[in-house]
Amino acid sequence: MKDIQSYIDKNKDRFVQELTELLKIPSISADSDYKKDMLKTAKAVKASLENAGCEKAEIYETPGHPVVYGEKIIDKDLPTVLVYGHYDVQPPDPLELWDNPPFEPVIKNTKIHPEGAIFARGACDDKGQMYMHVKALEYMTHSNELACNVKFMIEGEEEVGSEHLGWFIERNKEKLANDVILISDTGMISKDTPSITTGLRGLSYIEVEVTGPNRDLHSGLYGGAVGNPVNILAKMIASLTDENNHITIPGFYDKVEDLSSEERKKMAEAPYNEEDYKNKLKIKDVYGEAGYSTLERASIRPTLDVNGIWGGYIGEGAKTVLPSKAFAKISMRLVPGQDWKEITALFKKHFESIAPDAVTVEVKPHHGGYAYVTPIDNPGYQAASKAYEKTFRKTPIPQRSGGSIPIVSLFEKELGSKIILMGFGLDTDAIHSPNEHFGIWNYLKGIETIPYFYKYFAEMTKK
Amino acid sequence: MKDIQSYIDKNKDRFVQELTELLKIPSISADSDYKKDMLKTAKAVKASLENAGCEKAEIYETPGHPVVYGEKIIDKDLPTVLVYGHYDVQPPDPLELWDNPPFEPVIKNTKIHPEGAIFARGACDDKGQMYMHVKALEYMTHSNELACNVKFMIEGEEEVGSEHLGWFIERNKEKLANDVILISDTGMISKDTPSITTGLRGLSYIEVEVTGPNRDLHSGLYGGAVGNPVNILAKMIASLTDENNHITIPGFYDKVEDLSSEERKKMAEAPYNEEDYKNKLKIKDVYGEAGYSTLERASIRPTLDVNGIWGGYIGEGAKTVLPSKAFAKISMRLVPGQDWKEITALFKKHFESIAPDAVTVEVKPHHGGYAYVTPIDNPGYQAASKAYEKTFRKTPIPQRSGGSIPIVSLFEKELGSKIILMGFGLDTDAIHSPNEHFGIWNYLKGIETIPYFYKYFAEMTKK
């Protein structure tokens, strides 16, 4: 890898330019209005794989959005790395809170990113992090230093629960055969504190609809006598957590695997300052489950968050209406031991059971996924750790993340290999938020680090 | 009034046509986009007053939407009737629930209205009921039977709390001097059970904004550790009522004037069938304050209803966001004794006090009004009662309504006269709801009944 640094220096403007072009396409998987843009993005990804050195790159139709597959097989006897990423992005709203249009990328310097950061939806999650792997392959092809076979599986439904990726994997197990799965869709603690994500939370995402009267009513003529679905939905949501912010759904915690006090002590050693944490978010206080630290609440404990709520009149001014319906999108982050399908069923049963006769309730399970934990003693983790040591001159910290990549646990189950989560984003990159961005330093550092993973993984797994 | 019946028969198609034209103008006072249409409606009302016989009709600018004033003074010694109504309407959303566009009136027959009903926003509330008075004046002018002086005050801000009508009245007390104020902005029990509204509830309308973190967050990375403003708003709203649906705001009930068991017994005699009530609304059960009947809950007891709520992602599909903000529009219906300004202050103080440190709360009072009760022993009520007896051949039932006309109590205070609420609408007219309509039979019956009110009021108040 002698000349990787100079190769990156020579090409970094192009690397940024190419990513910028990819970010201009609004690949919003949740919104069917963007179906065309999804396909356009898939085609762009396919082309980039071919340019980077894949002998074969194809777009595979699924019942949902297509999957882009590419591969470069150099030697059947070498280990094979399967790179997973996604080209779809979260919806950008609320649009009014963006400083630039979410699909018109802008480069700006920030305190954390003096070298500049690319501001756009998907800049970090996951177009930017996915594209690091494409550019790393370009370097390894160019310098003829590719040490493993490589396969890419870039999907378009991660932000909506990877609904059809399982369908694709089932039908392509052989094609996808690999020795390790490499993913950059997580973050690291800070630019000078590299970390590798060793755990992810599971997810159960649900939409509820509460119906009261068959039409919107005048709140004067009926108010007080007819159940108001918004008031009742508020009561139902409020009752899902108790005064200690424990979740009250019967059986919810039954299968939670608690960490040993040993493990919790180790977690507590990670660098963290609660004052900084609060100041960054401009909150007077944190808020969560009694008996757990902020780091624990955000990683090893399950949660219940309302992601969206709406009902009645939400326009300008006043409307004295007693609405017919109220809605909420509710998601639960789950931890190892919890089965998301079982939790979804428990939620449904409980939520229906607490509805008063004044309303009817419909609970629509949306999507979900299992939590995941990687052991740190396998060659994949060790190779990643060594790669960070090489480029950051520091041993990365193993860290459980609160996020979810619902499909990860399925990879291990279906393809039998370990998943290594090498993330180069930062918590402050505002993924899923307005003004999402990705530091150019982080982007290039990822491109520099990834080739070492291939090198060390090949060495460690040599037969 | 010998030929009133034949006059109505001869002209009824024109009466309906004229109202239809008025209903085509989207006079939505809550939405500033419709400012032009508000003025257009005011001009149409002014013209209709002139055509009906007013010698003088003018549009008075206010800091908000204009007031239309018209008068016909025939004899200083005769009593003067001040007709109040409003030309503004409620916002029509949710639009998708309308069978016809809300401002493209359609006439359809219904079970309750075999003679046809006009479907449009404002058909009953209040363009249709206001226009009955214009056409009644037309008849009395035509037949030369106008028994009182008449003044019209038709405002454009009733649906947003009549914010500037007090301002207008203060400046025009002399012009508005009268012996009785006549309003048709309420309903009657049924087509064969006429009723006169003797009470209205007060109102306090409030908007709340709950802010958690300074930006939308990823619900995986922060969920469980950072206060979610939607979850917290739900808990706050839920806590505003207890398990008996009593309102928990300290001091809320202190000044409520309870009805005597005598009065409550009388109320219970009004024709009412709970099964019909539930079936009409397609609800399994009613829902309200313990210890009170449905009729009582909807008229003599104060309420707290969320009229609108929103926060987080409310689009198609899923977004795993922990939102920065959540909002709600909350209104309380008040009863005699409660001071809406005091209740608004109590709400603000309490709501702010129950917010956890994880969020900041902004409470924005919107508008309000006092409750009102008319005695039934005054000539205004007696004249109205006699007028109904004449045209319905039944004595109308005095009835307390759950609705509010916030300005009514101000009329009595500022102008010193009693307010008579002669309503011809029905609960089923869906005012404030999609598919609002007004029965043509009711419309014409109002036009027929109103002139008798003038006749009897003149007779009863003759010096």
Digit-coded pLDDT (tens) for A111-166: 999 999 999 999 999 999 999 999 999 999 999 999 999 999 999 999 988 989 99
**Residues recorded for chain A:** 463
Q: What is the least distance, in Å, from the CA of A428 to any CA of chain B?
A: 10
Q: What angle do CA B30, B32, B37 make, to 5 degrees?
A: 95
Q: What is the least distance, in Å, from the CA of B248 to any CA of chain A?
A: 14
Segment B354-379 mean pLDDT? 94
Cα–Cα dist B135/B15, whole Å? 7
Q: What angle do CA A89, A94, A97 make, to 5 degrees?
A: 110
Cα–Cα dist B181/B176, whole Å? 10
Q: Looking at residue B463, what is its pLDDT?
A: 66
Binary contact (B320, A93; C-beta < 8 A): no
Cα–Cα dist A290/A311, whole Å? 31
Q: DSSP state, B65?
A: S
**For residue A30, which residues of chain B lie inside 8 Å, CB to CB?**
315-319
**For residue A199, which residues of chain B lie inside 8 Å, CB to CB?**
none
Q: What is the least distance, in Å, from the CA of B2 to any CA of chain A?
A: 37
Q: Looking at residue B349, what is its pLDDT?
A: 98
**Comparing C-alpha atoms, which of A218, A317, A324 is closest to residue B125?**
A218
Segment B379-404 mean pLDDT? 94
Q: What is the least distance, in Å, from the CA of B40 to any CA of chain A?
A: 21
Q: Looking at residue A1, what is its pLDDT?
A: 85
Q: How far is CA B320 from CA A26, A285, A308, A322, A370, in A?
A: 18, 22, 9, 29, 16
**For residue B334, which residues of chain A lie inside 8 Å, CB to CB?**
none
Binary contact (A285, B223; C-beta < 8 A): no
Binary contact (A322, B311; C-beta < 8 A): no
Q: What is the least distance, in Å, from the CA of A334 to any CA of chain B?
A: 10
Q: What is the least distance, in Å, from the CA of B458 to any CA of chain A?
A: 33
Of all residues in chain A, the one with the smallest CA distance to B227 is A287
Q: What is the least distance, in Å, from the CA of A57 to any CA of chain B?
A: 30
Q: Mapping DSSP to helix (H, G, I), strand (E, B) and coil, where does residue A176 land?
A: coil
Binary contact (A311, B309; C-beta < 8 A): yes
Q: At A95, list the tokens.
A: 């649009």
Comparing CB atoms, the residue among B214, B310, B360 nearest residue A281 is B214
**For residue B403, which residues of chain A lie inside 8 Å, CB to CB?**
218, 220-221
CB atoms within 10 A of CB B402: 25
Binary contact (B317, A356; C-beta < 8 A): no
Cα–Cα dist B35/B64, whole Å? 10
Q: What is the least distance, in Å, from the CA of B202 to any CA of chain A?
A: 9
Q: Mapping DSSP to helix (H, G, I), strand (E, B) and coil, where does residue A265 land?
A: helix
Cα–Cα dist B6/B225, whole Å? 75
Q: Looking at residue B63, what is its pLDDT?
A: 96
Cα–Cα dist B150/B81, whole Å? 5
Q: Using DSSP, how many helices (H) and how many strands (E) does chain B show? A: 12, 18
A26 versus A218: the higher-pLDDT residue is A26
Comparing CB atoms, the residue among A217, A226, A288 nearest residue B287 is A226
Q: Render pLDDT for B296-344 as a digit per residue (tens, 0 to 9).
A: 999 999 999 999 999 999 988 888 899 999 999 999 999 999 999 999 9
Given pLDDT bands bounded at 50, 70 and 90, which one contains residue A438?
very high
Binary contact (A187, B221; C-beta < 8 A): yes
Q: Are the beta carbons of B356 and A283 closer than 8 angstroms?
A: no
Q: Are the beta carbons of A394 and A388 closer than 8 angstroms?
A: yes
Q: Are the beta carbons of B22 and B131 closer than 8 angstroms?
A: yes
Cα–Cα dist A226/A213, whole Å? 7
pLDDT at A463 over 80: no
Q: Which of A99, A188, A222 to mutate to test the interface with B (most CBs of B within 10 A)?
A: A222
Cα–Cα dist A321/A218, whole Å? 5
A5-21 CB burial, b ≥16 within 10 A, e <16: eebbeebbeebbebbbe
Q: Are the beta carbons of A361 and A212 closer than 8 angstroms?
A: no
Q: Render pLDDT for B119-173 as a digit per residue (tens, 0 to 9).
A: 999 999 999 999 999 999 999 999 999 999 999 999 999 998 898 999 999 999 9
Given pLDDT bands bounded at 50, 70 and 90, which one contains residue B196?
very high
Binary contact (B323, A308; C-beta < 8 A): yes
Cα–Cα dist A241/A302, whole Å? 12
Of all residues in chain B, the one with the smallest CA distance to A300 is B224
Binary contact (A220, B201; C-beta < 8 A): yes
pLDDT at A347 over 70: yes
CA A378 to chain centroid, in Å, comes to: 23
Q: Are the beta carbons of A347 and B347 closer than 8 angstroms?
A: no
Comparing CB atoms, the residue among A93, A161, A215 nearest residue B318 is A161
Name the packing angle between helices B440-460 and B379-392 (round to 10°).
Answer: 130
| Residue for token pair 């064969």 | B192
Mean pLDDT of chain A: 95
pLDDT at B246 over 70: yes
Q: What angle do CA B444, B449, B453 make, to 5 degrees?
A: 150
Cα–Cα dist A435/A119, whole Å? 6
Cα–Cα dist B446/A284, whole Å? 59
Q: At B174, list the tokens.
A: 């002399």
Interface A-B, measured as beta-carbon pairs within 8 A, has a size of 382
Q: Which of B163, B321, B370 to mutate to test the interface with A (most CBs of A within 10 A)?
A: B321
**For residue A433, which residues of chain B lie inside 8 Å, CB to CB?**
215-218, 321
Q: Which of A307, A357, A421, A435 to mutate to test the interface with B (most CBs of B within 10 A)?
A: A307
**Comparing C-alpha atoms, which of B116, B54, B41, B24 is closest to residue B86?**
B41
Burial class (CB in 10 A: 0-12, 13-18, 19+), A273: exposed
Q: Looking at residue A322, what is its pLDDT?
A: 96
pLDDT at B190 over 80: yes
Q: What is the least distance, in Å, from the CA of A195 to any CA of chain B?
A: 15
Of all residues in chain B, the one with the smallest CA distance to A98 is B215
For chain A, what percent of residues have pLDDT higher than 90? 86
Q: DSSP state, B124?
A: T
Give all strands (DSSP E) within A52-113, no chain letters: 56-60, 67-72, 80-86, 106-108
Segment A178-185 mean pLDDT? 97
CB atoms within 10 A of CB A248: 12
Cα–Cα dist B185/B169, whole Å? 19
A332-365 CB burial, b ≥16 within 10 A, e <16: bbbbbebbbeebbebbbebbeeebeebbbbebee
| Whether this model's pTM surpasses 0.90 | no
Cα–Cα dist B84/B151, whole Å? 9
Q: Which of B89, B200, B252, B309 to mutate to test the interface with A (most CBs of A within 10 A)?
A: B309
**For residue A238, which residues of chain B lie inside 8 Å, CB to CB?**
231, 234-235, 237-239
pLDDT at A259 over 90: no
Comparing CB atoms, the residue among A161, A226, A434 nearest residue B215 is A434
Burial class (CB in 10 A: 0-12, 13-18, 19+), B264: middle
Give all strands (DSSP E) within A193-259, no chain letters: 195-200, 202-211, 217-218
Q: Render pLDDT for B73-99 as a digit per residue (tens, 0 to 9).
A: 999 999 999 999 999 999 998 899 999
Q: Render pLDDT for B263-303 as a digit per residue (tens, 0 to 9).
A: 899 888 888 999 999 999 999 999 999 999 999 999 999 99
Q: Looking at residue B19, what is its pLDDT?
A: 98
Comparing CB atoms, the residue among B159, B213, B314 nearest residue A308 is B314
Q: Are the beta carbons of A452 and A385 closer than 8 angstroms?
A: no
Q: How far is CA B81 from CA A84, B143, B375, B449, B453, in A?
A: 79, 18, 18, 15, 10
Comparing CB atoms, the residue among B90, B187, B238 nearest residue A234 is B238
**Comparing C-alpha atoms, which of B64, B352, B386 is closest to residue B209?**
B352
